[in-house]
Amino acid sequence: MSDRPGEAYIHRYNELVKKLLGAKGGEPMTELAAELLPVIILEQERPEYAIYKSELLWMCSVGQAASVGNFSHVGVRNPVGSGIISVVEAFAIDVPALVNMVITAHAPVQAGATLTASVQRDFRAKGTPVTQAVAFVNVGIIGATAGQMEVPAGMAPAPLSVVLGENNEILFVPQAANTTIAGWILGRERPVETSERA
């Protein structure tokens, strides 16, 4: 790493810092004591800063009707060859009545699923999110179990941090067959950096 200013940062944070601190105009901070410095905490940046790091904020709504003898699956996927990293940040699931829910991780992605495009959460950004909503039914629960919880009807949004590489999906599955499920999932995505490729 170089000790020149800006060269020690990961590229996307460097771009964020340059854009946030490169503002023109306004009064200089001449009254600020030398030992006091303005600070931006990068790990807790505001959602509107994502655009400066080449991130798209996305959200999607997804649903799957009940099917006799089958388990309903809903979730999100990062498709094959997407060139992005997708991060799930929060979710809300709605079911007709209290049910035990399994969260599964699945790769490669399920063939034959119904796919729905996600939409942007920052309407200033250009482009369409690559992350897709996914829904399907199957005679068994698909994927490796990553978690389990009891979900009431009309669940409030809950945080969930999951990073999806290409050809991965996260699924929410009621443990009872023949159950209708709907979900609202939100997150962010960004291009894969060269240094992150295996």
Structure confidence by residue, pLDDT tens digits, 71-121: 999 999 999 999 999 999 999 999 999 999 999 999 988 888 999 999 999
Q: Which pTM was predicted?
A: 0.79
**What residues does CATH 2.60.120 cover in the chain?**
56-196
56-196 to CATH, choices 2.60.40, 2.60.120, 1.10.3470, 3.40.1550: 2.60.120
Residue type, 19: K
Residue 35: C-alpha distances to residues 8, 64, 191 (Å): 23, 58, 38
Beta bridge partners of 168: 78
All residues at 6 or more sequence positions from 186 whose CB lies less than 8 Å from its CB, including other chains: 57, 58, 59, 60, 88, 89, 90, 91, 121
CB 138 within 8 A of CB 70: yes
Tens-place pLDDT, residues 136-176: 999 999 999 999 999 988 888 899 999 999 999 999 999 99
Backbone torsions φ then ψ of 29, nearest 5 degrees:
-85, 65
